[in-house]
Structure 1
Amino acid sequence: MQLHSLLIRLWWSIFLLIAITPSYAATSLTLNDALRLAAIHSPTLADVAAQERGAHAALTTARAYPNPDLQVGAGSSLSKHLSVPNGHTRVAGLSQLVELPSVRAARRQGAEAGITASAAVVSDAQLNLRTSVTQAFFDVLRRQEEVKLATINHELLMQIRDRVKLKVKVGESPRFELVKAEVEALAAKSAVNSAELRITQARDRLRALIGAPLAGNFEVAQEPLLPPDLPALEELRKDLLERQPLLKVADAQMRRAQARVQLERNLRFPQPTISVGSNQDPDWKQWQVGVSLPLPLWNRRQGPIGEAVAGLDRAEAEKRQTSINLLGVLDQAYGRYQIAKNQVKIFETGLMHDAENAMKVAEAAYRYGERGILDFLDAQRVLRTTRLDYLNARYELQAALIEIARLRAPPPNAGEIL
């Protein structure tokens, strides 16, 4: 009985362990699940989050006051008067650097600009991760559909081969037609294998981006394709210039460089150091209060100021270059979007229908002996190519839309793409 109850407890333990263990491959992976897992497990986001914490720490450093200096000393002393015995000398002093308000303000402004830059870097990393995961997710969907098309095509060619084989067997068709049908069937099988390899590669890319444990042959859930309608290019440019995180990073870096120029210029003015001290020996005791002030005679900080001004010029140039690059990428993505949209429209308004009709006509003609196997196989090949081109055009349109959304940088929960 003890062994029996022990086995029952062991069985229940295994059952509970399996029940509470997360399994990301138990059901089809949705796009929202992929984005959520990537946000949790991505090392890139952890890296930029650490940088943002460092920027906040830099602001704390900029606001800190300099520590005072304490000087303490002691030694032996000989008295000048015979009536006064020899004794010890004691020295104590305290000094405090008094920073100018303009210096502290410039340093604080630079640190605040660093926080703004790091926050924009975090936003850019999040946007890039969402874009990459979305692109990879739709790429897996694309490869899944390619496998389906290749499988359907292979099954159809196998049926054609069996039909031709039967005709050859009864003497209605020459053996050459069977050889041709077998070659087409083998090519279709090779296409299925290639499609399966591509879907494995696409899953590996998505798994690497997510960074979470996923089964090797996980499936992604079918997601509705993104709507192909976009505003005019000028409106997209306006959104990019207003919301793109990389431009916010460049702007914050420029303000940080401006603060450094102001800091270096303010440091030209001497900052006083106030000191208080005492000196005691056997003969007398002395108290001192003083102010020390460096004189800017030989070094007027021309070098640091020049370096800061050069850094500011460089930051301004980088901001302009970033804007030019992003607008150029947007123009290219918008061009790809228009081409893909037109291609999809051509396929949907007649090309797919024409290819399917041609396939039906060729099949009927071959069945009634009006056309040979070569015409039938050619029509089937045209239909297969047309379907694959239509699939590629649809997902090229998705890729362009996702890239434009990344450049447009919609705010969170705005109801737009990404």
Structure 2
Amino acid sequence: MKFPRFTAAGIGWALAAFAAPLYVNASVPASEIADKAERHSAKAAAARAGIDDAQAQRELAGVWPNPELGVTFDDTGTEDESRSVQLTQRIELGGKAGQRVRVATAQYLTAETAMRQAVVDVRSEAVKAFYELALAELRLSEAKASNEIAGQFSRALDKKLAAGKVPPIDATKARLPALAAANDLKHAERQHLLAQRRLELLIGEALPEDKHALPELPPAPPQWPEVQQQLALSPQTRLAQLRVDASTAELGLQRAQRWPDLQLSAGVKETLDTGERGGLFGVSIDIPLFNRNSGGVSAAKARLRQAQAEQQAQQRERALLVQTLHAELLDLSERLRLYQSEIIPAAEASVRAAQTGYDYGRYAFIDVLDAQRSLLSARSERTGLWQQYLDRSAQFERELGGNAPGK
């Protein structure tokens, strides 16, 4: 004996929820979300301020030292009392100014590249949050459908229990999935709210009520040779090289500091009693007897070796990381395509067949529920794969500097 027909409406509602299109047109595309996040980001603003600071330091590095103006009074209170006015200019030897400009230029380029990486991080985080909101909406829809299925099953068994068709233990067991489904629905609602608030915080404004779309199919990552080229041109790779360049420039500056500076002076001396005036000219230079800046040069050499070693270590670590992410993205994209093209359609066809068989009395209600649970499980596994794909894709994009798949 099949279950009463009053459950058919509930089954139809659940089927409609499961059959609802996963990918819908979003009024706000992910690229626009990334643009808004970039404009709103304090991290990106701080990086731009760092560029302004580095530019000012670069301009300051090449300026000449200020001249010194001195006035002296000699033999005061005597007949030979005189006064002198003298102008002194320090001349930097050893190319100190040029080396300072090299250091400041390397720091400017570092700040500029760090800003590029900051923008990549901000945009990547915003796009990931956008698609995570789409996943949260999908999970919420699935939780509602699951809750309805569990409720239908529990109510049907309650009616059979009242009619004496099933033992009380079966009705009690049926309530457990209903309670679990209700709890899952509350959790999905909370996660959806958190995902929405997180994205709103990133872009600095409220989101419209429209749905948010996932890509129809996950884009596969580029071929490995192309990935290697992108990795070599990424901001993080550039930053590591710029640290070496800055350390090299700093070593050149420390070597230039070994050269003493030359001071040229010129002025006028006047004897107050007679009014006689005479010129003053002088040259002075430090004698590097006790301090030849050997410590500064040694420290700069050590920092250069450190920067070079860190660059090599980072290259190896990032190459291994990107290679791992590339392989995982390939696997995830293939699995998602399989779910989307074969597993999900097969599960949906099974639900439709079970629904039709139930309507004609060929299957029991439990067969329909089993088919729906299988579809729910397949969709849940697919959303889990999507979450993994989004996590790996965001990290992949940050490593490649915005050249992740689909960008």
**TM score, norm. by length of structure 2:** 0.83
Give the C-alpha shift of residue 372 in structure 1. Answer: 7.7
Higher relative contact order (CA 8 A, sep 6+): 2
- SS of 1:77's equivalent? coil
Q: Are 1:272 and 2:265 counterparts?
A: no
2:406 is aligned, of 389, 394, 417, to 417
Partner of 1:234: 225
Aligned partner of 2:286: which letter? P
Is it true that 1:96 corresponds to 2:85 in the alignment? no
Read off the aligned partner of 1:71 and give its amino acid letter. G
* Alpha-carbon distance, 1:61 to partner: 0.8
Note the alpha carbon deviations across 1:109-157, whole angstroms, 9 max, x for none: 1111111111100000000001111111111110100001111222233
Check whether the contact 1:228–1:401 (CA below 8 A) recurs between aligned residues.
no
In the superposition, relative to structure 1, how do residues 202 and 128 fare at CA in structure 2: closer, same or farther (>3 Å)? Answer: same
Maintained 8 Å contact 2:130/2:212:
no
CA-CA distance at 1:52 after TM superposition: 0.6
1:144 counterpart letter in structure 2: E
Q: Is the contact made by 2:222 and 2:405 (CA closer than 8 Å) also made in structure 1?
A: no
Matched with 1:186 is 179
1:23 is aligned to none
* Corresponding residue number in structure 1 for 2:327: 335
Residues 89 and 219 (structure 1 numbering): CA distance in 2 closer, same or farther, change over 3 Å? farther
1-structure distance, mates of 2:244, 2:365: 73
CA deviation after TM superposition for structure 1 residue 192, in Å = 1.0
Map residues 306-325 of structure 1 onto 2, 5 A cutoff.
306-325=298-317
Match of 1:224 among 207, 211, 215: 215
Q: Deviations over 1:209-250 (max 9, x none)?
A: 22x1326x9555325356422222232122111x21112122
Structure 2: unaligned runs, 5 residues or longer: 1-25
- SS of structure 1 residue aligned to 2:92: coil
Separation (CA, whole Å) in 1 of partners of 2:376 and 2:217? 25
Deviates more, 1:126-135 or 1:363-372: 363-372
Residue by residue over 1:307-359, the C-alpha shift from the partner in whole angstroms, topping out at 9 and shown as x without a partner, is 11111111212222222232232123123213312322442454334444555
The separation in 2 between residues aligned to 1:417 and 1:345, in whole angstroms, is: 15
**Is the 8 Å Cα contact of residues 218 and 333 (structure 2) preserved in structure 1?**
no
Please name the residue that 1:344 is paired with.
336
Aligned equivalents of 2:187 and 2:200: distance in 1?
20
Aligned to 2:124: 131
CA apart distance, 1:365: 6.7
**For residues 318 and 377 of structure 2, what CA distance do their matches in structure 1 show?**
35
Mark the CA change 1:189 to 1:78 in structure 2 (over 3 Å): closer, same or farther: closer
Letter in 2 for 1:98: I
Confirm or deny: 8 A CA contact 1:244 1:408 kept in the other structure.
Answer: yes
Trace 1:135-154 onto structure 2 (pairs within 5 A).
Answer: 135-154=128-147
Q: What's 2:55 paired with?
A: 56
Instruction: Tell me the SS of whatever aligns to 2:69.
Output: strand
Q: How far 1:202 sits from its partner (Å)?
A: 1.5
Return closer, same or farther for 1:165/1:368 CA change in 2, 3 Å cut-off.
farther
Q: How does 1:61-80 map to 2 (within 5 A)?
A: 61-74=60-73, 77-79=76-78
Kept in 2: contact 1:226–1:417 (CA 8 A): no
Aligned pair 1:36/2:16, yes or no?
no
CA distance in 1, matches of 2:306, 2:211: 46
- How big is the shift at 1:46? 1.2
1:289/1:391 CA distance change after superposition, 3 Å: same
Deviations 1:18-56 (A, max 9, x none): xxxxxxxxx965423322221222111111111110000
Identity of aligned residues (%): 23
Aligned counterpart, 2:5: none
Cα distance in structure 1, aligned partners of 2:219 and 2:37? 26
Question: After superposition, what is the alpha-carbon deviation per residue over 1:160-181, rounded to whole angstroms, capped at 9, x for unaligned?
Answer: 3343344444444444443333
Question: How far, CA to CA, are the matches of 2:229 and 2:217 in structure 1?
Answer: 22
- Maintained 8 Å contact 1:90/1:280: yes
Q: What letter matches 2:376 in structure 1? A: R
- 1:364-403 matches, within 5 Å, as 364=357, 368=361, 373=366, 377-403=369-395
How many Å separate the matches in 2 of 1:100 and 1:226? 64
- Opposite residue 157 of structure 2, the aligned amino acid is V
3-state SS, counterpart of residue 263 of structure 1: helix
**Contact 1:405-1:417 within 8 A present in 2 as well:** no
Which 5+ residue runs of structure 1 have no aligned equivalent?
1-26, 80-85
Q: Matched residue pairs, number?
A: 379
Conserved? CA contact 1:29–1:220, under 8 Å: no
Structure 1 residues 346 and 142 mapped into 2: Cα distance closer, same or farther (>3 Å)? same
Amino acid at match of 1:40: R
Aligned to 2:12: none
Gap change, CA 1:345 and 1:41, over 3 Å in 2 = closer
Is 1:113 the counterpart of 2:106? The answer is yes
Amino acid at match of 2:308: E
Aligned-pair Cα RMSD in Å: 2.9
| More displaced 10-residue stretch of structure 1: 88-97 or 59-68 | 88-97
Closer/same/farther in 2, CA of residues 371 and 159 from structure 1, 3 Å limit: closer
